[in-house]
Structure 1
């Protein structure tokens, strides 16, 4: 793709996403990067300079001003507001350009996405779309993330959005979900399942193993029965069941307990706001909170919740 692109947020997810963009951009295109961590920017530039020009910019305003496409992913809603709505250094301070494509990929609540997106659109700074992702840092690095985008199929920007997102995803994993905020709604709904699913798998295998079942036999049964799930096939909490899962690699952190708490809490808040009783998520979030502070599991991947469920010392 031949187009200058700016990227804000070189964290756990953003680094891999930005890496794929730089690798797939034309060598004639410049990538502008911005992050509060200057060391991350320096490392990214050093590791990717062979793929084409990279420039570090100091503000979100400059990032938006320098390229016709901007992608961002930051930790929380307050960070999104800071990046976009700061009157001096935020995206909203950039020169007006309604053709500027803005894809905001942070996992935040629906109302915040709609608030920020509407402000940017009303200011004429760009065409803003919420575009949260799923697939973890492995998917970010591999360029296989799922994208849930607050964009209608007949939106005039839809084709350009698919072209940009395809550098970080597979065409079959790009979902246009409707109006502004619907991408966030889809992401929150999906995440609502992830935490409870992982905990349920941990409990299920603890039951089976404590009753004498071999873990691989049980995994094969579930894989071919009604209990099969994506989490079980990719993020299995029992060591040795899935070779590439964090559990099989000493629970090396891929998705921290704190992030599971954050994402599941977003689901709880959305449920309560819309009159849905979030009974499963409430139980799950308390378990992940406990795991975040337990000496057996703190600092490990969220799937290490299995240690608490099984009663490992």
Structure 2
């Protein structure tokens, strides 16, 4: 692998925290954006600032061979919260990169961008992709991962813990299909892209190698095999979820919090088809996922925080 200088956003988030040490071990020079002061003895060069700070972004990308944009908002009480980070922030990062002559740009979008009418989050992700498409600039690649999990994840771990104790709450569509991806496989895909960055814009979907995704009964059966005991499914009524989401959103707006459970999030959860296709990315890159959901659930080190 050709060693490069990599500008990284979202380096302290879930995916970025998994990616950054791997890039360092590969021998790359990593320059990462951070809102907080970091130790000077770390291997990464930290640039203090955020996605609204043009001077910080210019320092971030100056002399970089490529930019990997992982930062994004996943919570918010209105569309403008998502737009400011996911749309405007993305544009600022990529405009700074182009102004500094950086030719290889990777945007970590989301499978939700395929269904922009579902939620503020999905709409913002699609708009971020479209504004990059509209520029017509070369060197941009878009990845659309589905639900990503692994050590450091805070969204799926509670579900996994509960399932392996014998109870599986189901907030999604009862007959729905969903895709997942382990963070290590996503990192492997990014490493493969670094070796062959000029693969075209995509967007490229990714999943864990299960072509048809998972149904909730299949997930329950996986958990039952691993715990060697029955797993009881507990479908959550859609009306209850929507009532909770509306209450949560109203409370968040009064308190200034950034909520996760909103009406849009319920729309995402209840969407019946989150299947996706690895074919285009596997053809473009020498990459195949290796961690199925069953393999991960059978090994707590693959989904629980390290040290637990």
TM, length-normalised to structure 2: 0.44
Structure showing greater Rg: 1
Q: Which has the higher helix share?
A: 1
